[in-house]
């Protein structure tokens, strides 16, 4: 939200205007005489001069220079970025109101061209100069304004319970006085532009809530309207964003109802033609005016907030906006009543056409002339443009007006030209003109073309999955669920809801939701410390040892959470006296039961509709874990048991309970102080090693589960001083564990940059992605070196250790680039017309990032498919189903958005193979994820281009040919028997080369200036 209060009244751009020369012509019947002041002495030069010859030389040259700049794709954005800095800087050097040298420079180049002045004397001088050129009047406005981000909401409460401070009421009074001071600067027939949001929170809150105008605002507006009428001027209410506009329309109608009681309107409301609901809004105004008998005043603009509005509210194409604008103008001129009330008489009305589009101006004026010549009923028509942004059109209209005067042709007499001028300090004057330039670039028909590359860059400047207002979804049972930005479950819900809402033809079935615990809900009753643990129905020792080794194999590096030597020692003690050991080592016994539960789940086939094998052991274990009252005795073993319990709960898709348990374990680590380095002299090297290992495994699980549920990190890396395993020992296991820790730290960096809600309005998505790529490139270099050193060519050694590292690396890439996929989906939905020929234009860096995402997602599915063929999947654990489903989800979206990025459908076969294996092996979440992916594929059908006869062209990234070939190499590999263990022999893309990541980061760096400009014009 941007609020720009000022002690000075300022001119407000009348939404598609800027306080600059609004050309203003009145159409009257042939019986009316022209106003004496408008008749110039007859001058008949032999040759009529060009229309712009009326401008003073200085103004003409400045207009030509600035117009050329604003129409240049090369110079416009950097110039706007520079002006944005100068108008918003707090630096004494860069603030034009504090730096006299900069003040003079900006005055001479920009400010004096667009603004009327900084005080009443300067404004009066400018107005006189404007009218001397031939313009017939001015529009001035007191510019206090609030601009909201597209998704920004305003909290509003019941007017009966809201209490505002004295400062809020003082703000209304200041706004009223500033508006009245501005009124005194205009003359009879001129317009006063009124911005109601400038009155502050009292006005803003009520408007957002669509409540009646507060009493203090009613009194202020009545005073302004009465003063305007007494002066012989008129006023219009400037438009707002749609989050506010509906409330403003209610107020505007009420004001017109009270003050528009003569043949000509005193108050005009603004309708924005680029909105899909604009025609319906006009019909509503016409109907009420006809039914209630007041005079309707309409100012018609194309659009005021195209860069700050929710895109779905705006017409999809420029042509549709043009048609909407022209239809509204034609409806007013031809006095057409809405069909449902066509028995009523069209009300008394007037139209002010605010446009810089020559075609719309010519068409509307021609229609009005035809109606006058045919002596058909019509209304008063006036036109207006902003001086400095459409001087050629303004001067042409002035010239046509003067020519009509000479010809005494009332039918050809066009609207008087009003000059719309701002006034106020330099910084605000420049800043408001920046927004005018964004909305109304010359020779672009005042529309920001949604098909431009710049529009695409702006769309990719912010993470759409992050909002300062948390996202909640209501489930069928009426509960509200938080949509965590990094959660794959939430991402699925967001996409299904977005497509269902924006693409009705997709006919989406109801969202299956698949809430937490729907796959299977483990239940248990806590066992008190006084109760004896249940030691019945346990397997024999040899089978328990077999299950332990099974769990150790499937867990991989996670098996470090179990201290093997101590566990086996306790295991043998337990089988000597089960009851005594269970009572004495309660948390070890819980750990033992969870090992049994995992072992049974890994080894025993699951029935299609039954619970997971071994779940009884898990329920008994969970009953033994401590509650929030604290961990009693042997806290390290308790932390280990809590962590195992969290992994089990995540495996059965009880995500919330899993996150709570791993959080409990992490806090136990912090309470025990093992997030700090435990020196060997404190308890010996073995205790130091155990504390270090336990903490890092808990840390990794917490990071992983936080990302899965969409929560922020639970502990800052700056607060951790415990050594990394590889800093103490250099074994393969310690290096592997250290690399996994670094991947977890990378996840934390992703959470605090890419998904940081504080950066949502800063346009920093590309910049943060670049930072992550640099970190990822460094880590990728070390992973590649580790794999090359310890596994390349050694089939017997290339185990789950290597596979998990590579899968985790590629999953980080998918997590990093998923917001860009969401950006592209929004862009695709906004622009699609369901034609197979339609494509979206992506900037090279964005294309490269989406290709990187697609490659990593395909690599994940290809690797998992190979593991499935060899029956080596960790089916019961939650990690591989997350890798598979999240990768497939983004691939379905990319195939619909930019099919050329995925030239074949091999990944679909890989996905089916992986899901079949996971379901057959008893993964409880796999059937749910399959149904979600199936629903996604179904509703994406209307958005997915149909296959063409010729192959889709590849997307180019401005990369050397050899790099492009490497990017697509994954689709050309025939996975065969030779894959087995040697993953590095499969393809270089299995472990993304560090050089490729750095090249992509550097490419983003070259685009950084343009991206920052794209963000500032948002």
The DSSP-derived string for 104-153 is: HHHIIIIIHHHEEESSHHHHHHHHHHHHHHT--EEEEE----EE--TT--
Give the C-alpha separation, 586 to 527, whole Å.
Answer: 11
In this prediction, residue 334 carries a pLDDT of 94
pLDDT of 467: 67
Q: Looking at the structure, do residues 138 and 279 belong to the same domain, yes or no?
A: yes
Distance CA 523, CA 649 (A): 11
Query: Does pLDDT of 895 surpass 80?
Result: yes
Residue 243 lies in a domain: yes
Q: Residue 823 in contact with residue 311, Cβ under 8 Å?
A: no
Instruction: Let me know: does 267 contact 260? Beta carbons within 8 Å.
Output: yes
- CA gap 797, 793 in Å, rounded: 9
Q: Kindly state whether residues 431 and 457 are assigned to the same domain.
A: no
> Half-sphere exposure of residue 553, counting CA atoms within 13 Å on the CB side?
12
Report the alpha-carbon distance of residue 791 to residue 460 in Å, rounded: 39
Task: Give the number of other Cβ atoms within 10 Å of residue 670's Cβ.
Answer: 16
CA 246 to chain centre: 23
Report the DSSP pairing between strands 472-474 and 137-141: unpaired
In angstroms, the Cα distances linking 62 to 124, 294, 474, 513, 866 are: 21, 44, 56, 60, 68
Cα(92)–Cα(168) distance, rounded to whole angstroms? 29
- Percent of the residues in the chain that have a pLDDT greater than 90, as a whole number: 36
Higher pLDDT, 936 or 947: 936
Whether 581 maps to a domain, the answer reads no
Claim to verify: residue 402 and residue 458 sit in the same structural domain: no
- C-alpha angle 79/84/88, rounded to 5°? 155
Instruction: Determine which helix (DSSP H) or strand (DSSP E) holds 668, and give its type and residue range.
Output: helix 655-672
* Spatial CA neighbour of 199 closest among 167, 226, 230, 225: 167
Instruction: Give me the chain's average pLDDT, please.
Output: 76
Helix H or strand E encompassing 1004: helix 994-1006
H or E element at residue 269 = strand 267-272
Look-up of token digits 């209630």: 292
Last residue of a domain, one of 450, 485, 519: 450
CB 130 within 8 A of CB 421: yes
The DSSP symbol for 110 reads I
Residue 739 is assigned to a structural domain of this protein? no
C-alpha distance from residue 557 to each of 740, 800, 921 (Å): 9, 9, 21
Please tell me the number of Cα atoms within 13 Å of 886 on its side-chain side: 29
345 & 460 share domain: no
User: Quick one: DSSP state of residue 307?
Assistant: T
Q: Which residue has the higher pLDDT, 1 or 533?
A: 533
Helices 685-709 and 655-672, packing angle to 10 deg: 150
Average of per-residue pLDDT across 514-529: 85
Look at residue 405 in the predicted model and tell me its pLDDT.
52
Where is average pLDDT lowest: 52-66, 232-246, 440-454?
Answer: 440-454
Q: Is 463 found in the same domain as 348?
A: no
CATH number for the domain spanning 240: value is: 3.20.20.220
In the numeric block, which tokens belong to residue 378?
A: 């019509």
Contact between residue 990 and residue 861 where contact means Cβ atoms under 8 Å apart: no
Tell me, what's the pLDDT at 958?
Answer: 38
Domain total for the chain? 2
Give the residue with greater pLDDT, 39 vs 925.
925
Residue 727 CB neighbours (<10 A) = 12
More confident position, 868 or 792: 868
Asked whether residue 327 falls in the same domain as residue 463, the answer is no
Phi, psi of 750 (to 5 degrees): -65, -40
Give the Å distances, CA to CA, from 598 to 128, 259, 538, 647.
87, 77, 14, 10
pLDDT of 864 strictly over 50 = yes
Q: Which of 811, 86, 81, 748 is nearest to 461 (CA)?
A: 81
Which range has the worst mean pLDDT, 46-50, 603-607, 715-719, 774-778? 46-50
Q: How far is Cα of residue 737 from the mean position of the Cα atoms in its chain?
A: 36
Report if residue 612 sits inside a domain. Answer: no
> pLDDT digits over 472-488, tens only?
777 766 777 788 888 88
Percentage, residues of the chain above pLDDT 70: 67
460 plus 316 within the same structural domain: no
Q: Which residues face 235 on adjacent strands? A: 192, 267
872-900 mean pLDDT: 93
Q: What is the pLDDT of residue 243?
A: 80
Q: What is the pLDDT of residues 11-68, one digit of tens each?
A: 332 333 333 334 343 333 333 433 443 344 554 555 566 655 666 666 666 666 666 6
| Predicted pLDDT at 462 | 80
- pLDDT score recorded for residue 628: 75
Q: Between 654 and 1007, whose confidence is greater?
A: 654
Q: What is each CA distance from 657 to 45, 573, 880, in whole angstroms?
A: 88, 32, 20
C-alpha torsion sign, points 775, 776, 777, 782: positive
Is the full-model pTM beyond 0.85? no
How many residues comprise the chain? 1018
In the prediction, which pLDDT does 77 show?
A: 62
Task: Tell me the DSSP string of 174-235.
Answer: HHHHHHHHHHTTS-TT-EEEE-GGGG-HHHHHHHHTTPPPPHHHHHHHHHHHHHHHHHT-EE
pLDDT, position 498: 85
**Boundaries of domain holding 981:** 453-468+756-765+791-1018
Cα 335 versus chain centre, distance: 41
Tokens 């290709």 belong to which residue? 851
* Better pLDDT: 18 or 513: 513
User: What is the rounded CA–CA span in Å between residue 217 and residue 173?
Assistant: 9
Q: Answer whether residue 517 shows pLDDT above 60.
A: yes
pLDDT at residue 764 tops 90: no
Asked if 919 and 881 count as a contact pair (C-beta separation under 8 A), the reply is no
User: Average of pLDDT values for 280-308?
Assistant: 88
The CA distance from 793 to 802, in Å, is 13
Q: Which has more confidence, 750 or 26?
A: 750
The C-alpha atoms of residue 537 and residue 525 are separated, in whole angstroms, by 18
| pLDDT for 442 beyond 80 | no
pLDDT per residue as tens digits for the range 148-187? 444 444 444 444 456 788 888 998 999 999 899 888 888 8
Pick the range with the lowest mean pLDDT from 117-126, 324-333, 378-387: 117-126
Task: State whether residue 947 is helix, strand or coil.
Answer: coil
Domain shared by 139 and 242, yes or no: yes
Strand partners, 23: 417
Element (H, E) at 354: strand 349-354
Quick check: is 439 in a domain?
Answer: yes
Query: Is pLDDT of 506 > 60?
Result: yes
Strongest mean pLDDT among 15-24, 138-147, 425-434: 138-147
One domain, residues 461 and 328: no
What are the residues whose beta carbons fall under 8 Å from the beta carbon of 233, sequence distance 6 or more? 183, 186, 187, 188, 189, 190, 191, 192
Using one digit for the tens of pLDDT, what is the confidence trace for 274-293? Answer: 888 899 999 999 999 999 99
For residue 1012, pLDDT over 60 is answered with: no
pLDDT of residue 60: 63
CA-nearest of 982, 559, 979 to 787 is 982
Alpha helices in 791-838 (DSSP H): 800-831
**Among candidate residues 450, 485, 512, the one where a domain is terminated:** 450
Q: Is residue 272 part of a domain?
A: yes
Same domain, 459 and 311: no
Is 762 in a helix, a strand, or coil?
coil
Q: How far apart are CA 120 and CA 457, in angstroms?
A: 41
When pLDDT is cut at 50, 70 and 90, the band that residue 110 belongs to is: low
Helix (H, G, I), strand (E, B) or coil at 124: helix
CA angle 610, 613, 616 (to 5 degrees): 100
> What CA–CA distance (Å, rounded) separates 248 from 242?
9
CA distance 173 to 181: 12
CA-to-CA separations, 293 to 139, 261, 333, 863, in angstroms, rounded: 28, 8, 18, 73
Once rounded to an integer, what is the mean pLDDT over residues 627-636? 79
Return the bridge partners of 380, or none. Answer: 350
| Same-domain check for residues 191 and 270 | yes
pLDDT of 86 reads 62
Q: Two tokens at 34?
A: 């022209």
The rounded distance, in Å, linking the Cα atoms of 556 and 554 is: 6
Q: Is residue 786 situated within a structural domain? A: no
Angle at CA 953, nearest 5°, toward 913 and 766?
A: 80
Same domain for 904 and 892? yes
Q: What does the pLDDT read at residue 148?
A: 45
User: Is 139 contained in some domain?
Assistant: yes
pLDDT band at 995 (very low <50, low <70, confident <90, very high): low
């Amino acid at each position: 939200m941007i609020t720009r209060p000022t002690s000075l009244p300022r001119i407000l751009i009348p939404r598609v205007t800027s306080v600059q020369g609004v050309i203003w012509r009145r159409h009257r019947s042939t019986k009316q005489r022209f106003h004496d002041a408008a008749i110039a002495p007859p001058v008949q030069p032999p040759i009529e001069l060009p229309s712009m010859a009326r401008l003073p030389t200085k103004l003409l040259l400045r207009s030509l220079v600035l117009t050329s700049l604003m129409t240049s794709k090369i110079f416009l954005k950097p110039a706007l970025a520079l002006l944005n800095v100068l108008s918003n800087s707090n630096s004494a050097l860069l603030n034009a109101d504090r730096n006299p040298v900069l003040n003079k420079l900006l005055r001479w180049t920009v400010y004096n061209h667009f603004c009327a002045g900084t005080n009443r004397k300067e404004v009066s001088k400018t107005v006189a100069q404007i009218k001397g050129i031939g313009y017939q009047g001015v529009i001035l406005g007191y510019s206090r304004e609030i601009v909201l981000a597209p998704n920004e909401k305003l909290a509003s409460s019941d007017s009966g319970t809201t209490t505002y401070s004295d400062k809020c009421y003082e703000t209304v009074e200041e706004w009223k006085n500033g508006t009245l001071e501005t009124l005194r600067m205009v003359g009879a027939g001129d317009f006063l532009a009124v911005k109601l949001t400038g009155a502050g929170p009292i006005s803003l809150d009520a408007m957002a809530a669509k409540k009646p105008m507060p009493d203090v605002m009613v009194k202020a507006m009545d005073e302004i309207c009465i003063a305007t009428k007494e002066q012989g001027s008129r006023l219009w209410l400037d438009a707002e964003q749609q989050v506010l506009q509906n409330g403003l329309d209610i107020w505007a109608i009420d004001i017109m109802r009270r003050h528009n009681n003569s043949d000509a309107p005193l108050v005009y409301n603004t309708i924005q033609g680029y909105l899909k609901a604009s025609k319906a809004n006009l019909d509503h105004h016409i109907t009420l005016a006809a039914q209630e008998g007041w005079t309707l005043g309409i100012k018609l603009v194309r659009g005021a907030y195209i860069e700050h509005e929710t895109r779905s509210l705006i017409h999809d194409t420029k042509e549709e906006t043009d048609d909407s604008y022209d239809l509204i103008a034609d409806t007013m001129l031809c006095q057409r009543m809405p069909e449902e009330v066509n028995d009523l008489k069209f009300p008394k009305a007037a139209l002010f056409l605010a446009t810089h589009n020559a075609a719309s101006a010519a068409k509307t004026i021609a229609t009005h002339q035809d109606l006058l010549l045919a002596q058909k009923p019509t209304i008063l028509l006036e036109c207006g443009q902003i001086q400095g942004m459409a001087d050629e059109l303004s001067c042409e209209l002035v010239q046509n007006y003067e020519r009509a005067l000479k010809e005494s042709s009332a039918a050809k007499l066009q609207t008087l030209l009003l000059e719309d001028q701002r006034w106020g300090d330099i910084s605000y004057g420049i800043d408001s003109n920046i927004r005018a330039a964004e909305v109304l670039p010359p020779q672009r028909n005042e529309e920001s073309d949604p098909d431009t590359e710049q529009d695409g860059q702006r769309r990719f400047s912010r993470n759409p999955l992050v909002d300062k207002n948390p996202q909640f979804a209501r489930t069928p049972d009426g509960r509200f669920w938080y949509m965590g930005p990094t959660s794959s479950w939430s991402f699925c819900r967001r996409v299904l809801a977005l497509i269902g809402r924006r693409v009705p033809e997709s006919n989406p079935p109801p969202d299956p939701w698949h809430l937490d615990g729907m796959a299977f809900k483990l239940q248990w009753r806590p066992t008190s410390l006084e109760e004896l643990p249940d030691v019945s129905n346990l397997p024999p020792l040899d089978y328990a040892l077999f299950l332990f080794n099974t769990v150790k194999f499937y867990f991989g590096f996670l098996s470090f959470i179990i201290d093997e030597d101590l566990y086996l020692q306790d295991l043998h003690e337990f089988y000597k006296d089960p009851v005594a050991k269970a009572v004495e080592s309660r948390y070890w016994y819980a750990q033992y039961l969870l090992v049994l539960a995992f072992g049974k789940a890994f080894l025993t086939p699951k029935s299609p509709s039954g619970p997971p094998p071994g779940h009884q052991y898990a329920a008994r274990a969970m009953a033994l874990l401590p509650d929030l009252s604290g961990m009693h005795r042997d806290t390290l073993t308790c932390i280990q048991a809590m962590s195992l319990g969290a992994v089990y709960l995540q495996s059965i898709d009880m995500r919330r309970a899993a996150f709570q348990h791993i959080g409990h374990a992490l806090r136990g680590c912090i309470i025990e102080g093992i997030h700090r380095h435990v020196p060997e002299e404190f308890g010996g090297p073995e205790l130091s090693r155990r504390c270090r290992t336990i903490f890092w495994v808990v840390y990794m699980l917490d990071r992983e589960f936080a990302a899965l549920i969409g929560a922020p990190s639970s502990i800052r890396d700056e607060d951790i001083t415990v050594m990394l395993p590889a800093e103490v020992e250099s074994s393969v296991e310690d290096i592997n564990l250290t690399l996994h820790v670094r991947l977890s730290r990378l996840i934390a960096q992703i959470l605090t940059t890419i998904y940081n809600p504080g950066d949502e309005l800063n346009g920093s998505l590309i910049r943060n992605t670049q930072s992550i790529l640099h970190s990822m490139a460094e880590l990728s270099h070390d992973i590649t070196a580790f794999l090359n050193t310890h596994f390349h060519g050694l089939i017997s050694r290339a185990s789950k250790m290597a596979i998990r590292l590579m899968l985790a690396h590629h999953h980080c890439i998918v997590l990093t680039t998923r917001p860009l996929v969401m950006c592209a989906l929004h862009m695709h939905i906004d622009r699609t017309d369901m034609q197979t020929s339609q494509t979206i234009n992506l900037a090279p860096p964005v294309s490269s990032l989406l290709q990187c995402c697609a490659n990593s997602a395909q690599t994940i599915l290809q690797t998992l498919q190979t593991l499935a063929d060899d029956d080596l999947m960790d089916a019961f654990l939650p990690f591989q189903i997350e890798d598979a489903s999240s990768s497939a989800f983004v691939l379905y979206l990319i195939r619909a958005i930019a099919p050329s990025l995925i030239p074949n459908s091999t990944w679909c076969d890989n996905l089916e193979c992986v899901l079949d294996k996971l379901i057959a092996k008893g993964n409880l979440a796999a059937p749910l994820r399959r149904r979600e992916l199936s629903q996604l594929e179904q509703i994406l059908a209307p958005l997915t281009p149909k296959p063409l006869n010729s192959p889709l062209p590849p997307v180019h990234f401005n990369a050397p040919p050899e790099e492009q070939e490497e990017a697509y190499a994954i689709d050309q590999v025939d996975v065969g028997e030779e894959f087995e263990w040697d993953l590095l022999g499969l393809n270089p893309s299995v472990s993304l080369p560090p050089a490729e990541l750095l090249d992509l980061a550097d490419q983003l760096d070259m685009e950084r200036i343009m991206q920052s400009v794209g963000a500032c014009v948002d």
